[in-house]
Each structure stands twice: as C-alpha cells, then as structure tokens.
Amino acid sequence: MKRCTIILPDAGPINSLWVADRLDLLLQLDMRIVIVDAVYDELTSDLSYIKDAEVKAFIDVHSPPFVIERTDIGESERQRRRLGQKPKKNAGELAMVDFISDEGGLERYLEAKEPVAILYEDAGLRVFNRPPNLHLISTVGLLRGLEEVGIIASADEVIQEMLHPTKPGRRPEHARKFTDLPAGVDEAAAIGSSWKP
C-alpha cells in the first residue's frame, strides 16, 4: 500500500488536536500535510487569541511537512482584510469547496495517481464520484489508527480531552463535537492507501 499526502480542507482537525494539546501527533505521520489557505487564515487570524498564536507558531515552525495551498477564495478574503472589510463567515468552507472542485486544487494531487487522504471533521464534506486514489479519514479515525500502531496509548483519552478540555488555555467553549464516534472514519482508497506511520 502506498502512503498518502494528507490534505486538510477543514479547520476542525487542527482545532481538535490543539484543544487536546496534541498537535504533535500530526508530525508523527511523517508525510506532507497540505492546508488550504483560507483554513490556515481562519486558524491563525487573531494572534491575540492563544489558539491562533499557538497554531500559527506550530505550523510555521514545521513547514515542511506543512504546505499552504493557495485558492481564489483565500486570496479574495485576504484582499478583503487588506481593504479593512470583514471576511465572510464561511470563507473556509467556500475555499474547501473551491479546492476540492478546482482542477488546480485537489485534482492536481489526484492526477499523480498516488493516494491522497482528506483529513476532516466537517460532517457536510461530500465527495462525489470519488476517485480510486482518494482516502477519507476523520480526526477520530486518525486517533484510532494512531492507537492501533502504538503511537498513542489511548485514542479515548485524547478524544475525552477534546470533548472536555482541561489543558492550560483551553476552556469549555473549546470543547469539540464529533459526528463519527465511536469508531471514526478511515476509508482507504480503492487502489490501496496507508497514512499510518
């Protein structure tokens, strides 16, 4: 089975791992991690906010493996901010749709016929006419896989921390909600794919 490139078209997985103070788990994957630009902007837009500052520092220090992928929506939203206009509330979702449907976005990664994994939490994510080299994995699925290979002792402990945060700087309003408990989603590509370390 071939290893995947991970694509993050959704802020959810980063937010959840930050809540549990386990962003380091993304580095355990030992593979390229592509983040859609509007999602990166959404994650790092207010550096006076502890989450945004810590996520920005983490991604910027670890680039690579992180790669920020440009989209038309992301550029448009950055231009709006430069002009002092308020960004659209759904800019991240629009950029995700732009990236997934655009020939220059996800399609470019899929053209190589190598497996690509979308790491997501957005329950609204839909992939129609799924290509044979596309692997789908949710944050919960990722944690279950990391437990399976011995990277973490307990996925449930990390999930519990995401659902009921206790780490410094985390508050009850940071608690995450998952629609894929208890097992998560980990659907391999039809051609065979693996994201596990």
pLDDT tens track for 137-186: 999 999 999 999 999 999 999 999 999 999 999 999 999 999 999 999 99
Residue range of the domain that includes 68: 2-194
Contact assessment for residue 74 and residue 41, using Cβ atoms and an 8 Å cutoff: yes
What are the beta bridge partners of residue 8?
35
CA 84/CA 46 separation, integer angstroms: 15
| CATH of residue 6 | 3.40.50
Sign of the torsion formed by the C-alpha atoms of 59, 197, 98 and 72: positive
Q: What are 100-140's pLDDT values in tens digits?
A: 676 667 777 777 778 889 999 976 666 667 888 889 999 99
CA dihedral 25, 27, 29, 32 (to 10 degrees): 140
DSSP state of 173: G
Domain count, the chain: 1
